[in-house]
Structure 1
Amino acid sequence: MSAEHEEAYRAASAEGTDLERYMAPDALSAVEKDLARMNKQRVAMRGDLGHEPEVTAVAAGAQPATATVEDCVDASKWQTLDMTTGWRIPPPADQPSRYVATARMERGDGKRWTVTEYAADKPRSC
């Protein structure tokens, strides 16, 4: 999911990605709203994100099975660009370059884990 997520943010659009394969409709809708905002503002992302995911909770016996994954995201090589000028837009001064993102997941009938909620807590450093 991370690779597809990054690809979407590089284009400010989910078109041409497989995000729907990895994200439940509500989670995908939230990402698409963010991408639409970016597209309207004419900004996109460039570079790479680092990831250090850790499973913090699992309910294997639940129906459906659920899990929570916390990821320490390294955004030090991830830049916001103005798509009109190509200029880099600096991140907010109070935003750390490493922050926590949390994914809530469910394992459906197809035996595939799907992200049902995804939230980046950018003020929370890791």
Structure 2
Amino acid sequence: MAYPADYRYTKEHEWIKVDGNIGTIGITDYAQNSLGDIVFVELPKVGDSVEATKSFGSVESVKAVSDLFAPVSGKVTAINEELKDAPEKINADANTTWLLKVELVDAKQVDGLLTAADYEKFTSEETGH
């Protein structure tokens, strides 16, 4: 699975796409594949703050519950309401199914995240492929 080059990635398997001062956050295809069938997503509320590297919610699959970690700090401006009733959309297309949007506190935080090539290298080292 190719990872979009215009996204940045975390070692916890979240992605962020930045447009101006808004960051759209999701989980990677690698993460959804590792989790299996996703049955529930817990997200913060609009107006909440998230802090870089800290947990902001969780995703539950038939296998496990995994924490979600913010790639950047910011204020939540939107959550993907569709995931309340259809969390499996993440399994269908993790690269385009977003979880939340945040107004960035510090855009420079994005520079510290992995590029698509770095992330691909990281996941291949993690799996040994």
Q: Which has the higher contact order (CA 8 A, sep 6+)?
A: 2
| Higher CA-based Rg | 1
* Shorter-chain TM-score above 0.5: no
Q: Which has the higher strand share?
A: 1
Query: Under a length normalisation based on structure 1, what TM-score does the superposition of the two structures give?
Result: 0.28
Query: Under a length normalisation based on structure 2, what TM-score does the superposition of the two structures give?
Result: 0.27
